[in-house]
Chains A and B, each alone.
Chain A
Amino acid sequence: MWDHINKALGDGMHRVLFGVASFLPGLVILLLALLCATVVAWVATRLTRGLLRSIKFDNRIEALGFSGLADWSPSRSPTLFVAKVVWWLIILFGLLVGLAGFATDLASKIVVQTFAYLPNVLVGLALLAIGNLLARFLARGALIGAVNMQIRSAQFISLVVKWLVLVVTAAMVLDHLHIGGDIVKLAFAILFGGVVLALALVVGLGWRDIVSRIGSKPTTEHPEDESSTLHHL
């Protein structure tokens, strides 16, 4: 009986040790991969920061109208933001490499699915960038136009235009990334419909004078109107 117990204990110990021994190399590979990725990421981040600072990336982004990127960036610096993105991409790559050594099937599945999803992410980012650019462009145009029409709530109009475009863009991006499914579509439809209804009420009830001013044709001669265009030219 004691022999059986000893044998069972020995077998159990052997299996555990065998399991640990099988697990350890993968773990070591994973840790090594992460370590190498950290070193590479550190070097790449420093190079990226140096390069972007040399081309005054922050100023160029500001001039292009992407000042929102500075708001979302650490220390309000798009350079640091890009550097952090580079850091985490390399760490992620290292993690995938480590996982490949740790659990081959799992890693290969993750890699395949990640790369299959990558085009969606890239297109989504492009949509986000274009949407942001368009939102700022239209918001600025609306602001300037409203100011020149002497509309006191010019900033409000500009904000509405900007957020309408951003909401549409966000809905398109989420739909493209297959995030949220029908809930996103329904939420967007309700939100957008509500905004449009509110605007229609505002314009119809509150801004009748402004709308009638926009719709009326200017008369040919305005000898009494001191702000008439023709007297300025």
Chain B
Amino acid sequence: MAMADESTFSPEVLERIASLTTADIAIGIASYNNADTIGHVVEVAGSALRDQLVGYRGVIVNADGGSTDDTVERIATDDAAPVLKLTYPVPPGQRLALLEHDVPDKGRALKAILHATQQLQAKVCVILAPNLRNVSPDSVSALCRPVLDDNFDFVAPYYTRHKFDGLVTSGIVYPLFRALYGQRIRQPMGGDFAMSGRLAAHYLAPNVWNLDKSRVGVDLWMVTEAIQRGFKIGQARVGAMSRVFRESSPDLSVALAQVLTEIFDLTLRDVSIWQRPRGSEAVALLGVAQDLPLAEVALDPQRLIESFRLGYKNLQPVWSLILPPATMLVLKKMSTGQNGKFVFPDQAWVRTVFDFALGYRLRTMNRDHLLRAFAPLYLAWAASFAAEMQDARTFEAEHRVEALCLAFEAEKPYLISRWRWPDRFNP
């Protein structure tokens, strides 16, 4: 067993880890100013350990990034679900720009939790987001069981969501991830997941985890690392998703830019890996499908179309630096409403995402400008999807997403070709 990273733990914490000896399950919660929700999440985790995962010794591991409210004080501990509270060093700049669900230097927080997992010799480590509202003991158990009973190494969450909820994931993250890595993981950036002790030890092995990964996109990196090293991957149904967001949540363009940064950085890091897979493989989906009541998400396509048209009117010169003339022509027809219905053809959308990934790589312009200029195009796709799926049921919307994913896979040669020969125009 590798020695703990002693710079991560204070002497008191090291003593506490030593006193706990072993545990079967480690439930890790990285937190930062989550006083409103942390109590509920810890209570649910404790309840899962007491009632659902009977016969297993469990420990809740909290890695806090220096909360300034009473987050840490609200974490209650009991004998059945003892809580190990850790702190980790956070560089000053990391607290400045946080996504609504994020903690500062999240990679360092997760690494601290993994070290504790290794010290405890836990068979499974479950990571829970600190701002979950709908989490239940069943969800925690659903993530643990595949690792404990079926020898899965990585279990991603499968949320039941409204057809218009999580369109960034449906329209960009899931299809792009699936096309690149050949694995149909519906929520690759879920934020809640489980891993085996084997996989946790692999992440902590020398030369596997470095600081770059700990800063940006650590969730995605952990999934792709598990895929590349041949670990057994699965998905577990964990119910409906509902998170509580901070008051200072960034607007859509900023949040979208951060998500795109994570996934585009992956394409840069794994360039020798993602070009190989063709098509995709299904990933085991565990658990029973339930007809859950979901909060209604109303989406007015007209508002999104107006946003896109404003973007087209003003950002045409910016987009034309990234997108080829064929795509610009499609956007022009969409903006003028020449074809009646507002439709963003799948091929045009896929190539738009790919061209922006290429523009990110080539630094065609300042990356922040490039990613923020993408927002009106995303709204155009969301409008097209919403207009098409307005009267559709959830499973019909899911079939539509499946068709989009197949379009991403079919256009992958376009991405590879433009990636290898960026100067050669390929309409």
Contact = CB atoms under 8 A, between A and B. Distances in A.
A60 B248 CA distance: 40
A109 interface: no
B366 A137 contact: yes
A148 interface: yes
A231 interface: yes
Contacts of A217: 247-248
B369 A232 contact: no
B353 to A, nearest CB: 15
Interface stretch (B112-120, B214-222, B311-319, B410-418): B311-319
B325 interface: no
Contact of A148 (B169, B295, B299, B375): B375
Interface stretch (B66-74, B159-167, B332-340): B159-167
Contact of B382 (A155, A221, A232): A232
Contacts of B243: 230
Interface string B292-303: 000111111001
Given A147-B310, A147-B311, A226 B299 contact: yes
Interface string A193-230: 00000000000000000000000011111011011011
B373 A226 contact: no
Given A150-B310, A226-B297, A231-B164, A140 B255 contact: no
A219 B245 CA distance: 9
A147 B252 CA distance: 12
A144 B374 CA distance: 9
A74 interface: no
B244 A220 contact: yes
B307 interface: yes
Q: Which of A152, A218, A224 has the most CB of B within 10 A?
A: A218
B372 interface: yes
A226 B366 contact: no
Contact of B315 (A137, A147, A221): A147
Contact of B165 (A63, A146, A231): A231
B253 interface: yes
Interface residues of A, number: 30
B111 to A, nearest CB: 24
A65 B166 contact: no
Nearest to A230: B245
A50 interface: no
A143 B314 contact: yes
A147 B251 CA distance: 13
B112 to A, nearest CB: 25
B249 A144 contact: no
A63 B370 CA distance: 13
Given A226-B303, A227-B252, A233 B376 contact: no
A144 to B, nearest CB: 5
Interface in A109-150: 137, 140-141, 143-150
A154 interface: yes
B298 A226 contact: yes
Contacts of B169: 233
Q: Which of A143, A144, A146 has the most CB of B within 10 A?
A: A144
B245 A220 contact: yes
B149 to A, nearest CB: 32
Contacts of A226: 297-300, 303
Contacts of A137: 366
B249 A147 contact: no
B297 A233 contact: no
A63 B311 CA distance: 21
Contacts of B165: 231
Contacts of A233: 100, 166, 168-169, 255, 259
Nearest to A229: B252
24 contacts: A63-B321, A137-B366, A140-B318, A140-B366, A144-B373, A145-B253, A145-B372, A147-B310, A148-B251, A148-B376, A152-B310, A154-B314, A155-B314, A220-B244, A220-B246, A224-B298, A227-B304, A229-B245, A229-B255, A230-B100, A231-B164, A232-B255, A233-B100, A233-B255
Given A227-B300, A231-B167, 12 more contacts: A140-B318, A144-B369, A145-B372, A148-B372, A150-B307, A218-B248, A220-B245, A229-B245, A230-B245, A231-B165, A232-B255, A232-B256
